Structure 1
């Protein structure tokens, strides 16, 4: 009996010891400590490089500065990050791409040009004596001539007299050798050969008409005389081009200059031979910039013994961009870039399947084949928005995040560099409260139609026509400003549009009209993006050199760029950056 009592006592003692040792710590473990979770979810960033996000404190891998705690909102995102719904992205056709995931060979510079005669191989056939053109051996421009071929026959009175002197001097050469030699040399100065001079001396007869022979072989590029014309000594008769080699002459813009150097290989294609590619070397880069077109001339020499290339033929040149090796070069599509004056921005999609975005400033290099080289701000492997960047920016504005207009974030939309769609400074297109009734839509389409007429007038540099087109918008704009479906901010928006159209209508000065057209276009893009129904895409186009190099946008019904800020002087300067569909 005592034995069982002892066993029970030992068991109870063991239970008591277990409770004393583990019961207190277990009860503590049941309590919820949120600090641990906060610590686990805390991200660390760099004040100089906000794209850096690390799970723990340390040094920035780029600049070495101490990382700081990243601010996050209630949704767990960093201060400058925001999230879009997948449905909104699909409706706005927002597309992303991985940087550096494109095809090899995208890092090229594309130039347009023409085939021209090689001026170094050209020759001018001139008359060596004064006289009358009796007969031409060349009938038309473009005729091929050989060296030594008869080009023309000329009657030269002075040469007739010189021949008579030679015949007389020949009879006295034994007694007056110096005179005889001087007369022969005189004929040589008129480019008569030794054989011709000997023939005159031997025959003792004076020739009235003298031939002019081609000194080079080639193609007659210009015929400068007709039969019966009187010509002076040294006057050009024909221009002969040797087309065995030709020049491919390209126009390069200012921002493309750093990627070019003499000796660089150019791969040339021509519309006449779409399946062939020809190689040449850059032989000359013009040190002077054309102030009208803001381009300079780049020249490459092509061998043309089989007459493949014809002067005047359009060609295209592809050049590998200089700088980094191909595997290190960072290139992005032109459509990914948002311009705000001096800054160029892109939207980064954070890693993962969630549509989380953040604005990033980048430093860009040259533009070629619709792609920019990136000097800093991006690395290969990062995912960026390549289509619908304006829509993503509008979402950032609505959420009070950093955007094109607002570098510091927040809802305030005042003060920004340069111009861009949505720069009225009050509302974004998605914030305007407009009831798009059939009447409102019809009136606003009248405004858009007049806008395109005004744009075409500025392209044609016709100030009077631009003024007339602006006047056509005033009546519908007055109706729109009184529309009952608008709130006060939207009415103010329409009133400002009316004032801008009025300013353009009251002046015929192209410079003033184009300056006003910058902000007018921004505002038209903002409100035009809200149109419910359009029959065809409206393209948003951008010129980085307009508005005193701050850049400017405009709307166009055509995908082909026709610059309203420069007209003929820089008609093709610009690109399509987005569209309203």
Structure 2
């Protein structure tokens, strides 16, 4: 028995020793791993404010806005970061969402830039036909603009008492020319200074009669661009009668944005097309770059001189210019993205990045933009080569972000991740960034701008209906505005411009078919983001517009609208908070 007990004890001791040797190191390793994982989790843990979820800090502390204690931010059940969200493959297919891996300008840019402009009269070929003596216009043979005149053609007949007296002096001096040749010569020279020809002076002298109504002949050939006098007018010496333009050459004047100036130089070739002759192209060269910047439009005039055979080009005609050159898109450091990838709200330029190459996981990214070259836009910061971004269906991805409560175009407060010392920026998000606005420009033809402005009164009526909280009237006004805008030809718009314009039409349709005022106001939020983006890029407005903003609208994310009056009349709350809001930008 004693030996059995001893054997059992020895076996137990041996078992414990073997167990320790076999599993002790593993347990220790697991404990170390757990400890390490816990530490890593703590390092990646972000802290947020329950009242201001846009605040994200890597350490526990106080909210920089309200001072409340920060709480741990949840990373989500799917393990994604707070700013990331996923979409299903089915949703991607239905919305035709496409992504592109971005690279340098050398791989993506087509080395061209497109400009819109007009045909203008060549001011170097303008001549003013003036009267060379005082008198009264008895007959004017040029009566309307566009009339063709030839050199030597009779323009007008003028009665001039001064010229009658000078002719009398000539006849008298002619009878005394043998005895007073100097007087005779001086009188003839006086008539020559009034642009009388030798033949005319000889005719007066030989006939011995005074001509009462003296003819004025055209000194150049061309087209009358302005009639500056009328029959019966008394004119002074040097006073213009008509302005004649030679249209054998014309100017093609294009508007180039400030950010594009480095791309142009005199002598660059320009390929020009026009709506009047869609199947023809015309070649020219840049002959002038305006040294003065237009402060109102932030553009510079780039001019090309064109030969106008057969009077093909008419002053005022819209034209498009395509410029190709070594300067455009050759820098290896430039990062170019398609314009369809960028959403611009007037405050921020945004793109959506696909953060996982094998999964439909996206994240909104704020970027700074440089020059626009055709349908490509330079990104100066916010992206790097090799990243994958959404290039088609951007607005659909943004809508998915909104539905999941993530950072989006509408969520300005959550538009950036902030540390404690940056927290004050969150209170400044409502201020329009002039730098961002200046960096991003959209291009619209003059015809589009004119037609779009016709829709602005309808928009203001729509806004007033929402102020009055009248759902039925809101629906009617949305339908009226939609009918106006649908008449606009958007086929010539760039991808980014077309995306904003299409979103406006889409939101108007949603408002028109809806009878719930709160639902209408929800669509009005998105409508306004796109309205402000386009209105901010119009070259000029007939009337001043005020971009106004309510910080409490759109679930406390803020929302903007346009108004013709500076006084606040809130369309998102109506009488409930009629004067809530402020003016954030003035469009003149």
Range into which the TM-score falls when normalised by the shorter chain: 0.5 to 0.7
Q: Does 1:407 align with 2:416?
A: yes
Q: Pick from 468, 473, 476: which aligns with 2:469? A: 473
**Match of 1:372?**
377
Moved more, 515-524 or 177-186: 515-524
**Match of 2:548?**
516
Report the alpha carbon displacement of residue 303 of structure 1 after superposing the two structures with TM. Answer: 1.5
- Secondary structure of 1:306 counterpart: helix
Contact 2:552–2:558 at 8 Å: present in 1 too? no
Change (3 A) 1:246 1:475: closer
RMSD: 5.4
**Match of 1:237?**
241
| Correspondence list, 1:117-136, <5 A | 117-136=121-140
Contact 1:289–1:296 at 8 Å: present in 2 too? yes
Between the aligned partners of 2:429 and 2:152, the Cα distance in structure 1 is 65
Change (3 A) 1:149 1:320: same
Deviations 1:225-272 (A, max 9, x none): 344443332221111100011112233444444544444433221111
Deviations 1:475-526 (A, max 9, x none): 789xxxxxxxxxxxxxxx969x79x99xxxxxxxx99984435769867999
Deviations 1:389-423 (A, max 9, x none): 4554566678787766242289x9x9376469xxx
Deviations 1:80-127 (A, max 9, x none): 665433234345553323336999765544332221111111001011
**Match of 1:384?**
389
Change (3 A) 1:131 1:521: farther
**Match of 1:85?**
88
Contact 1:340–1:419 at 8 Å: present in 2 too? no
Between the aligned partners of 1:156 and 1:307, the Cα distance in structure 2 is 38
- Secondary structure of 1:195 counterpart: helix
Report the alpha carbon displacement of residue 367 of structure 1 after superposing the two structures with TM. Answer: 3.1
| Correspondence list, 1:328-367, <5 A | 329-339=334-344, 343-350=348-355, 352-367=357-372
- Secondary structure of 2:176 counterpart: coil
Moved more, 111-120 or 346-355: 346-355
Report the alpha carbon displacement of residue 377 of structure 1 after superposing the two structures with TM. Answer: 4.2
Report the alpha carbon displacement of residue 137 of structure 1 after superposing the two structures with TM. Answer: 3.9
Q: Does 1:459 align with 2:468?
A: no
Q: Does 1:192 align with 2:213?
A: no
Which segments of 5 or more consecutive residues in structure 2 lack a partner in the other structure? 1-21, 45-74, 432-451, 474-516, 526-541, 565-571, 573-583
**Match of 1:153?**
157
Which segments of 5 or more consecutive residues in structure 1 lack a partner in the other structure? 1-26, 48-71, 421-454, 478-492, 502-509, 528-540, 547-553, 555-563, 570-581
Between the aligned partners of 2:468 and 2:454, the Cα distance in structure 1 is 13
Between the aligned partners of 1:188 and 1:238, the Cα distance in structure 2 is 22
